[in-house]
A and B are shown apart, each in its own frame.
Chain A
């Protein structure tokens, strides 16, 4: 630790060959691709802006992939370090899905490496991407019977982890089918769309079933 610091001190009186960054300050006004190219050109403000804007979402997302929070933190740090120096990456139009894609790859790579040393597989199908439905009050008032909620909850647990993951990208993170296919390494957009359609259909089925049951009970009460 001490040695690189000394070397740094020896050289600290030299000037840094970088552009001034004080005037390109308000990144909220810029489009993603401009922020990204500013970041790639070495602008520290751009780096801090991207970090502060996305790190919370990335951390939460990473913790859905594994329960090992230290690993998630390491991967996030590694991600930001490597992205800064990576050369020849294609232009990034949307920062968020790109960061998610890279972090996901980083985490699964690290988990794979880890599982080499442990006999037990680190990724537990049922533990990752646990989701639930949180209804607002209006929905509860409106029509959602206790029974229907239970059925939906059950239907969700029956989804595969891949389906849960894709659903959350779609409805929670706000990614498009194209972006989801890219993040999940799918060969085509169609695959992503099918995955989500099937998941929604099984949820819909749960809702319809409950509707039928509901009617049935009402009929049962009526003479």
Chain B
């Protein structure tokens, strides 16, 4: 029977047709689009067949939990390293057997120690404990991880991880913003989880900015290569100077300006045509202060301040450029309009 004689029920049995609907292969897609163009009279049947095929669902969809996801993967990777060592031992020549024997006796000794001195072992347990580092507004901090990775934590942010990591993975959780200079270890990929996004690298440097409220995440790569992936498994690979922007459930790639994304870690405050409201919000976070605007704030500000400038220096700069004036009252800084005052 030819396709033009097909009824709905014939289409839903036809393998080539079903594969087009379920998989969307290139070849079948090409064929069916062309065929439909030539047989518009069949479009109703085709549409109905498509809808029937797509309507089959499992009654309950089971989703693997985030913890289980990592737990399983960690187990798999760990097993792999164990096996690597096993084959190494097997492939050694007989001469080296004595070293294996020595290693084995050391292991036996350790076992003996373990059983005789359980107290010591217990004190060693904390190397698997969870470490939390956080900063308040107005604070920044530099953290050196046990693998040599350097983390610059921006204001109002938090990272946590298991001390010493595992044998097969290095996983860090991030809220807020941080710059990572990852120490190279091909055996243990370094993964940062922030909101719904996982960023995985072997040895690179990158900045991640994740917003707790909007759930947006920006990953800006300086050197090396990273893989940025959302919880549904959609991934992009970044090259240096590329930025992955995750917003509304989608990841897009763009180029970025170092000053906009990363300069904060060098102590540089940078404004590039920012709205004044955003400028003061950033200053609130950067210095841990509060502003109170008693005048309308309209306009855009551009300027940069290097070497962790004191707040007074930044405010002088802004006052000069915008005609605003500042007055400190206890913990709040009041923003007024200088010109307005004069004209009164």
Check if B23 sits within 8 Å of A22, measured CB to CB.
Answer: no
Q: Which residues of A have CB within 8 Å of B73?
A: 48, 51, 55
Kindly list the 5 A-B residue pairs having the minimum CB-CB distance in the complex, ordered from nearest.
A174-B22, A63-B62, A130-B59, A59-B64, A171-B56
Interface residues, chain A, with chain B CB atoms under 8 Å away: 2-8, 10-11, 14, 16-18, 20-22, 25-26, 28, 44-45, 47-48, 51-53, 55-56, 59-60, 63-64, 69, 73, 76-77, 80-81, 84-85, 129-136, 138-139, 167-168, 170-174, 176-177, 196-197, 200, 204
Closest to A173 in B: B22
Q: Which of B158-202 contact A (CB under 8 A)?
A: 167, 186-187, 189, 200, 202
Nearest Cβ on chain A to B7's Cβ, whole angstroms? 10
Check if B110 sits within 8 Å of A138, measured CB to CB.
Answer: no
Interface presence of B237 (CB below 8 A): yes
Q: Which residues of B have CB within 8 Å of A134?
A: 55-57
Contact of A84 among B56, B60, B72, B80 (CB under 8 A): B80
Closest to A132 in B: B59
CA distance A177 to B22 in the complex (A): 13
Check if A52 sits within 8 Å of B229, measured CB to CB.
Answer: yes
Closest to B227 in A: A25
Known: A22-B186, A139-B51. A56 touches B83 (CB 8 A): no
Check if A16 sits within 8 Å of B187, measured CB to CB.
Answer: yes
**Number of CB contacts from chain A to chain B under 8 A:** 153
Nearest Cβ on chain A to B226's Cβ, whole angstroms? 9
Known: A10-B103, A77-B72. A52 touches B233 (CB 8 A): yes
Nearest Cβ on chain B to A161's Cβ, whole angstroms? 13
Interface residues, chain B, with chain A CB atoms under 8 Å away: 9, 12-13, 15, 18-19, 22-23, 48, 51, 53-64, 68-69, 72-73, 75-77, 79-85, 88, 103, 106-107, 110-111, 114, 121, 124, 167, 186-187, 189, 200, 202, 224-225, 227, 229, 232-233, 235, 237
Q: Which residues of A have CB within 8 Å of B62?
A: 59-60, 63-64, 69
Most chain A beta carbons < 10 A, residue from B15, B63, B103, B189: B15
CA distance A133 to B200 in the complex (A): 38
11 A-B contact pairs sorted by A residue (CB < 8 Å): A5-B167, A22-B225, A52-B233, A55-B69, A60-B58, A60-B62, A64-B58, A85-B83, A172-B22, A172-B56, A200-B13
Q: Which residues of B have CB within 8 Å of A77?
A: 72, 75-76
Q: Which residues of B have CB within 8 Å of A4?
A: 82
Check if A8 sits within 8 Å of B85, measured CB to CB.
Answer: yes
Beyond A48-B189, A56-B232, A81-B75, 11 additional contacts (C-beta under 8 Å) are A10-B103, A22-B224, A22-B225, A52-B233, A59-B62, A60-B58, A77-B76, A84-B76, A130-B60, A168-B56, A200-B9
Check if B82 sits within 8 Å of A174, measured CB to CB.
Answer: no
Check if A51 sits within 8 Å of B76, measured CB to CB.
Answer: yes
Q: Which residues of A have CB within 8 Å of B61?
A: 60
Check if B64 sits within 8 Å of A26, measured CB to CB.
Answer: no
CA distance A130 to B48 in the complex (A): 23
Contact of A60 among B63, B72, B85, B124 (CB under 8 A): B63
CA distance A14 to B100 in the complex (A): 14
CA distance A6 to B120 in the complex (A): 14
Q: Which residues of B have CB within 8 Å of A10?
A: 103, 106
Nearest Cβ on chain B to A211's Cβ, whole angstroms? 12
Nearest Cβ on chain B to A214's Cβ, whole angstroms? 16
Check if B229 sits within 8 Å of A3, measured CB to CB.
Answer: no
Q: Which residues of A have CB within 8 Å of B63?
A: 56, 59-60
